[in-house]
Each structure stands twice: as structure tokens, then as C-alpha cells.
């Protein structure tokens, strides 16, 4: 990609930070929407512009990347928490679309966030989901569907519009692995429920490479951002305990997960077998297609 003016929401997060590190190396001009603009300015030594409200933006952008959202697994899904999860995605994206329309933005490409939760939750690996699969009906699925719909007005303002249906992103410093490292290191990890629910994962580096591939390419529409070999919770548990050289001694029965996490336990007890059909068909090459290799790379390099 030639030098681009990139506007990103969620740029301070686990995924966004790594994208920005890469884009700075590539020479792009980056602006971040953040509730903590001073932190952003400091994190990248003033090389990244930061605003806390759309009204503070001036000028136009070539690329829009929309990743902001409260952590889906950060706390129990009370009614208030569900509202925060919606507002930080759906309302924020609607505001983003309004700002872009009112200021006459004309983007080359827009990447807007979503997640594989869009497809709903499944107990095993019997159904493979490509980008044409229909939306589910549980809370996470409705959240993703509304998030995608809120971004739809942006289609009129860009040459290409993509929705990133993101799987579980694996990297050392954030996301799911950051939560699991301590319990697994203490030998307190274990299979959840019957262990047959599928984890559709992707390494952080491949995720960022795929984003750059999409920014450069010709694809439009929804894209599954997952590696080509989803794994069961049982296999994932074995792979993580092997990478950390610790036994996984503490299985979590389904009833315990339900009691501890309420409705949010679907994130643990259900999964989805998602195939990255668009990326693969477009010729994207994964550098880390194997879960064992990725985890070993993360913990031993």
C-alpha cells in the first residue's frame, strides 16, 4: 500500500495497537479515536494523532478501520453490561457513519468490525460456516448483526466495504491467551464442558497480515478472519498446556461454567467451526496455520 491516511477506532486495543505498529513502519499517517488520546500520543511518541470525539477530526481519510468495542468477556452479561456492549459497537458505529456522511468522506476502503459470534453458537463441529452462512439468534449473534448493520451506510462512502468476522485472536499480550496464561501456568487449566465445542482462532500476526492483504486487494463484503484449522476445546486445551509445559488438571463441567458466568458461559461452552473461505480463495497465505506451532512460537520465542 502507498502512503495512506488511516482513521482507526479501537486503535489502542490488543489488535489495533499491533496494526498501528505495522502501519507506522509502512509509513502511513494514522489517526485514532480513543477515550484516552493522551495515552495514544504517548504510546507512539506523538507519531499517531488521537482524538476523543468525531467533531475533533479534520480533513479526509483514505482508509477507515472500525474496531472499537467493550470486551465481550470482560464481565458478566447483566442488562447494563449488554447495553455497554451494544453502545460501544452499534451506537459508536452509527455515530461514525453519521460523521463520515456529514463531512463528505470518500474512502478507498472501509473495514468494519464484527465477530464469528455472528453465526451463533454450536456445541460441536458438525456444521462448517463460510461467509454465506446465516446469522444466529443468541445475544452475541444479535450484537454482531446489529454492529454490521450500523456500518451499512458507510458502503455508500467507499470504493470497497468489508466486514471483519473476527475469530479468537491469539497473541501473547492480550485477548484470550492473556486471560488463560496464569491459570494454565498454575496447572489450573482444563477442558470446558465436553470439550467438543470448536474454537476458530487466528494468530495476531496473521490477523494483521490479513488486514493488510484486504486493504491492498480487491475483495468486498464479509470476511471470516480465522485460520484454516479450527480446533476443539479439548485439542486447544492440550495444545496450550503442552506449550506452557503444564498439565491441564482442572476440567470445568458445563454446570460450573453456567453457574459462574451465567449467559456469558455460551462463550465457553459453545463455539463455531468457521472457515476463512474468502481469504483462502483470494490467495492469502497463513504463516501460522497450525495451533501447536503458533502457541509454541508465542511462548518460546
Ligand X SMILES: NC(=O)c1ccc[n+]([C@@H]2O[C@H](COP(=O)([O-])OP(=O)(O)OC[C@H]3O[C@@H](n4cnc5c(N)ncnc54)[C@H](OP(=O)(O)O)[C@@H]3O)[C@@H](O)[C@H]2O)c1
Minimum separation from the CB atom of position 16 to ligand X (A): 5
CB 141 within 8 A of CB 135: yes
Smallest distance, Å, CB 71 to ligand X?
Answer: 5
Closer CB to ligand X, 169 or 291, in the complex:
169
C-alpha cell at 206: 496473521
CB of residue 207 to ligand X, shortest distance in Å:
9
Nearest C-alpha neighbor of 44 from the set 18, 26, 68: 18
Taking the least distance from each CB to ligand X, the nearer of 116 and 248 is 116
Closest residue to ligand X using C-beta atoms: 13
Binding site for ligand X (CB under 6 A): 10-16, 34-36, 67-72, 88, 92, 113, 115, 166, 168-169, 174-176
* Cell of residue 252, nine digits: 470445568
Shortest Å, Cβ 70 to ligand X: 4
Torsion of CA 2, 105, 158, 6, to 10 degrees: 30
Give the helix, strand, coil percentages of the chain, each rounded to 5. 45, 20, 35
Contact 66, 111 (CB under 8 A): yes
Residue corresponding to grid cell 466486514: 163
Q: Euclidean distance between the first and final Cα of the chain, in Å? A: 29
Q: Which is closer to ligand X, CB of 71 or CB of 187?
A: 71
| Rounded CA separation 154/148 (Å) | 10
Q: How far is the CB of 13 from ligand X (least distance, A)?
A: 2
Rounded to whole angstroms, the Cα distance separating 159 from 7 reads 16
Would you say 42 or 159 has its CB closer to ligand X?
A: 42
CB 176 → ligand X: shortest distance, Å?
Answer: 6
Taking the least distance from each CB to ligand X, the nearer of 93 and 238 is 93
- C-beta of 93 vs 265, nearer to ligand X: 93
Amino acid at each position: 500500500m502507498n502512503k495512506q491516511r488511516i482513521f482507526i477506532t479501537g486503535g489502542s486495543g490488543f489488535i489495533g495497537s499491533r496494526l498501528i505498529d505495522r502501519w507506522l513502519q509502512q509509513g502511513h499517517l494514522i489517526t485514532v479515536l480513543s477515550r484516552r488520546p493522551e495515552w495514544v500520543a504517548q504510546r507512539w511518541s506523538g507519531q499517531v494523532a488521537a482524538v476523543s470525539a468525531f467533531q475533533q477530526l479534520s480533513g479526509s481519510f483514505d482508509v477507515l478501520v472500525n474496531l472499537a468495542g467493550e470486551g465481550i468477556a470482560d464481565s458478566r452479561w447483566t442488562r447494563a453490561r449488554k447495553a455497554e456492549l451494544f453502545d460501544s459497537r452499534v451506537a459508536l458505529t452509527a455515530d461514525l457513519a453519521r460523521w463520515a456522511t456529514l463531512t463528505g468522506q470518500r474512502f478507498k476502503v472501509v473495514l468494519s468490525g464484527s465477530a464469528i459470534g455472528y453465526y451463533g453458537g454450536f456445541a460441536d463441529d458438525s456444521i462448517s460456516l463460510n461467509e454465506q452462512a446465516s446469522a444466529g439468534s443468541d445475544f452475541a449473534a444479535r450484537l454482531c448483526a446489529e454492529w454490521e448493520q450500523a456500518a451499512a451506510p458507510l458502503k455508500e462512502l467507499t470504493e470497497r466495504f468489508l466486514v471483519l468476522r473476527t475469530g479468537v485472536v491469539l497473541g501473547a499480550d492480550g485477548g484470550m491467551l492473556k486471560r488463560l496464561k496464569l491459570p494454565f501456568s498454575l496447572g489450573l487449566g482444563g477442558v470446558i464442558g465436553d470439550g467438543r465445542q470448536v474454537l476458530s482462532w487466528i494468530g495476531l500476526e496473521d490477523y494483521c497480515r490479513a488486514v493488510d492483504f484486504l486493504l491492498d486487494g480487491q475483495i468486498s463484503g464479509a470476511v471470516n478472519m480465522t485460520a484454516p484449522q479450527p480446533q476443539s476445546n479439548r485439542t486447544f486445551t492440550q495444545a496450550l498446556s503442552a506449550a506452557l509445559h503444564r498439565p491441564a488438571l482442572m476440567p470445568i463441567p458445563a454446570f460450573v461454567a453456567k453457574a459462574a458466568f451465567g449467559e456469558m458461559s455460551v462463550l465457553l461452552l459453545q463455539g463455531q467451526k468457521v472457515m476463512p473461505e474468502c481469504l483462502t480463495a483470494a490467495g492469502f497465505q497463513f504463516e501460522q496455520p497450525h495451533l501447536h506451532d503458533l502457541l509454541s512460537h508465542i511462548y518460546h520465542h
